[in-house]
Amino acid sequence: MDPKENLVLLAAALLWMVISAETSQATHLPGCQDKCGDVSIPYPFGTSEGCYFNDHFRITCDTKITPPLPYLWSSKVEVLSISLDGHLRILTFVGADCYNKSGARESRKKSIAILPAFPFSNTRNKFFGIGCDTIALISGVDLHGQTYSTGCLSLCNDTASVTNGSCNGIGCCQIPIPGNLLRYSATVTSFKNHTDIWESNPCGFSFLAEEESFNFTIANLTSIKNTTRLPSSIDWAIGNQTCEEAKKDLTGYVCKANSGCYDSSNAPGYLCNCSAGYIGNPYLPDGCQDVDECKDSNLNRCLKKCQNTNGNYTCSCPKGYHGDGRKDGEGCSADQLLAVKIFVGVGTSVIVLVAVSGLLYFGQQKRKLIKLKEKYFQQNGGLMLQQRLAGREEPTSAAKIYTAEELEKATNNFDESNIIGRGGYGIVYKGIFADNTVVAIKKSRTVDNSQIEQFINEVVVLSQINHRNVVKLLGCCLETEVPLLVYECVSNGTLSSYIHDRNKAATFTWETRLRIAAETAGVLSYLHSAASMPIIHRDVKSNNILLDENQTAKVSDFGSSRLVPLDQAQISTMVQGTLGYLDPEYMLTSQLTEKSDVYSFGVVLVELLTGKKPLSFERPEEERSLAMLFLSALKEDRLFPILEDCIAKEGNAEQVDKVARLGKTCLRVKGEERPTMKEVAMELERLRMMGKHPWTNVESNYEPTEYLLGKQIDAFGHGKSGESSAGYQVLGAVLLPSGGR
C-alpha cells in the first residue's frame, strides 16, 4: 500500500478515536460549561441559564480567583465534587470554643449550615466532637420541618490516653445524624474550661463531616481551628416524586433513552442510571452510550467470534463448528464425525482423572469453608463468649444457632427496605422465617474489638434474663463476617414515639402510662436484684422501651449494659449513655451504680408525665433540661401547668401528684439518697392499685411505703433532711458541682 494512503488511514483513525472519546465522556449539555476550576459540572447541574435542570442544581463559578471555585446556588457553600449517583461533596466549617490558661473564654463560634434543598447524607456523614473537656451539641431541622437535637461527650485526662484513629469518646466522639437533615447548628462547650489540660488542648471543636474523610489524630486536639473547613456529603435527587410516579408523568420524566430510575434513599425524588450494557450520563439525550463488550475479553464470554449489539453482545462459532460459542454455555464443537469420536475417546480416557481431581477440589473447598467459618467464629468473639459462659454458675438459656443462609433468606439478603431501626452499635432488620415467624435481626456495623465486646456483652446479659417485659433473645449467628443477634420482633414502635407524637399522645391515657412505667420499673428491679448476677442497663431511655401490639413495655438494647460482681457495689467505666438521661453523679465520677439506672428511669417517668423531651434547645436555657424544669416546677408548686394536657384532664390529680413526688426522689443528685428500683417498682404498683380501687384505704398503707422509700422521704415525696442539692448547679442537661463548669 502507498505510504500516503497509510497516513490518510492513520489520521482518520485518530480523528474517530477523538470523536468517540468526546462522545463517551460528555456529561453536560452542548454549549455549557463542563468544569469550574478542577471540579466537573455534570448535567443536571450547570453554571448558566439553560444548562441546569432547575435552580436547585445551579452552580456559581467564581472566576475572580485562581483557580476558579464552584459554589452551590449563590451561597458560599464550596463544592468539592459532584457524582451522578446522587452525592455531592461540600466544605463545612468547624465550631470551636477556646480558653486561655486561666480558664477565661477567648473565642466561641458555631458551625452552621443551611441548605434550601438536598439533605446531608446520613450514611456518609457523622457528627464529631474533639477535645479532652468537650460537650459537642447539634440541633437541626429536616425536610419536613421536624426538629432534632443531640450530642456527645469527649473527655480525657491527658493526651497519653488518646489513640490515633480511635473516636470512642476519649479525645474524640462521634454519633450518626438522622435522615433528611436540611440545616443544622453545631456548638461546643466544656465542663472545666480546659483548665486541667490547657497546654495540650485549649479548645473544643464540633463539626459535621464525612466519616471516611476525617481520621482523628492526637494532633487534631490543637491543629483544628474554627476557620477550618472539612468535607461533608449531601444527597441530591430529582423532584419530589417517587420513581414509579415520575414514570407516569411523561412530560416531566428526566431519565433519557437506555436508562431507568430508582428512588432516593435520603430525600424526596428519584435518580437515573444507565441500563445494563450502557454507560454515560442518563440525564442527557443519548447520554447513555452502548458498551462494546467485544473489545474487552473481561466483559464477554465468547470463545471465538463476538458481535456487539445495543446493550449486549452475541457469540458465534467459526466455520466448521456449531454451538453457542460461549465459555459458560455449549461452546463450539467440530462438525466432523471423526472429531466427535476423538472428543468422546479423549473424554472417556480422562474421566477418572477429572473425577478424582473434582473430589480433591471440592474437598479442599470444603476445608476452606470450614476454616473460614472458624475464622469468623473467633473474629466474632466465639472464644470470648465460651469463656464468659463457662465462668457462670448457671447454664445459659437455650438459644438457637442460626446459619447465615437462614438469616439472608429471612431478610431478602438484608435489603434496606427491611430496616426497622438503627442503634449506636448496629442496624436492626425485620426477618420472616419459612414458618412465618417474624423476628428482629441485629447486625453490627463493623468488625472491630469494641463492637465485638458490645456484641458478646449483649449475648451474655440477655442469655440470663427471663422476663416478660424484656425483648427476648432467640439466638445468634457467628459464621458471618459481622456478628448477628436474633430477637423477638416488637414492631409497635418505641415509648418515645408515643410520648412525643402529638396524635398518639392525645390517646395515650394516664392508666396506660402508669402501667408502662410500672412494667419498666419491674424490669429494672429484676435486673438489679433478681437476676443471678446484678445487671446495670446503663442506657435507660424512652427510645429503648418498645411497645407490643397490646402496648406492653419491652425493654431493649443491652449493648451498653454491665454485669456487677456480687462483691461490688459500683464499677468504674468510661461514661456512656444519652444526654438528658445521664446520672450527673456517674458523669462526674465515672462510678457506675444501680442508682444510675434509677436516675435515668426518673427522667422517663417525667417524660410520661409532661410529654416533653429530656433535652431541648428550643426551650429557654434554664429549661433545656427536663429534669431541671420538672424539679423547679415542683419546688414552686406549679406541677400541673407542665403536665401533658390529656393527663391533666383525666382527673387523677392525687395519683399523678404521688407519681411526680416519686419521680422527684429518683432525680436526687446524690445516688445514695435515691430509692432502689425495687422500691420504685413496688410504689408504682401500689399507686396503680390506688387508681383501680379508689375505695381502698391506700393512705393507711402509706407509712410502710415511706419506710420502703427511705426515711428521708415524707408522705409527699419531700426530703426531710433537704434535697442535698446544695453545692450543685445545673448546666444544660448536666448537673455539676457549684463553682465549676
Count other Cβ atoms within 10 Å, centred on residue 58: 18
- How far apart (Å, rounded) are the C-alpha atoms in residues 599 and 738? 20
Which residue is catalytic, options 97, 133, 290, 539?
A: 539
Q: How many CA atoms lie within 13 A of 187 on its CB side?
A: 11
Count other Cβ atoms within 10 Å, centred on residue 397: 12
All three cell numbers of 163, joined, read 489513640
Cβ-contact 235, 86 below 8 angstroms: yes
Helix (H) or strand (E) holding 500: helix 495-500
Q: How many CA atoms lie within 13 A of 241 on its CB side?
A: 13
Q: Among 292, 253, 257, which Cα is nearest to 271's?
A: 253
420504685: which residue's cell? 680
Chain center to CA of 595: 29
Cβ-contact 168, 153 below 8 angstroms: no
Q: Where are the beta strands (DSSP E) in 453-515?
A: 473-477, 484-488
All three cell numbers of 144, joined, read 419536613
- How far apart (Å, rounded) are the C-alpha atoms in residues 178 and 737? 33
Residue 539 is classified by DSSP as -
For the four alpha carbons of 348, 353, 359 and 365, in that order, the dihedral sign comes to: negative
428482629: which residue's cell? 440
Indicate the residue type of 540. Answer: V
What is the DSSP annotation of 8-51? HHHHHHHHHHHHHHHHHH--S-TTS--EETTEE--TT-BSSTTS
Three-state SS at 365: helix
Count other Cβ atoms within 10 Å, centred on residue 253: 18
Strands 259-263 vs 553-555: parallel, antiparallel or unpaired? unpaired
- How far apart (Å, rounded) are the C-alpha atoms in residues 333 and 317? 8
- Residue 443 counted as an annotated binding residue: yes
Active site residue 415: no
Count other Cβ atoms within 10 Å, centred on residue 740: 14
Q: Where are the beta strands (DSSP E) in 497-621?
A: 535-536, 545-547, 553-555, 562-563, 571-572, 591-592
Cβ-contact 159, 133 below 8 angstroms: no
For the four alpha carbons of 476, 480, 483 and 488, in that order, the dihedral sign comes to: negative
The interaxial angle of helices 510-525 and 653-666, nearest 10 deg, is: 30
Cβ-contact 663, 600 below 8 angstroms: no
Cβ-contact 608, 499 below 8 angstroms: yes
- How far apart (Å, rounded) are the C-alpha atoms in residues 291 and 20? 12
Compute and round to an integer the Cα radius of gyration of the chain: 32
- How far apart (Å, rounded) are the C-alpha atoms in residues 602 and 605? 5
Active site residues: 539
Residues contributing to the annotated binding site for ATP: 443
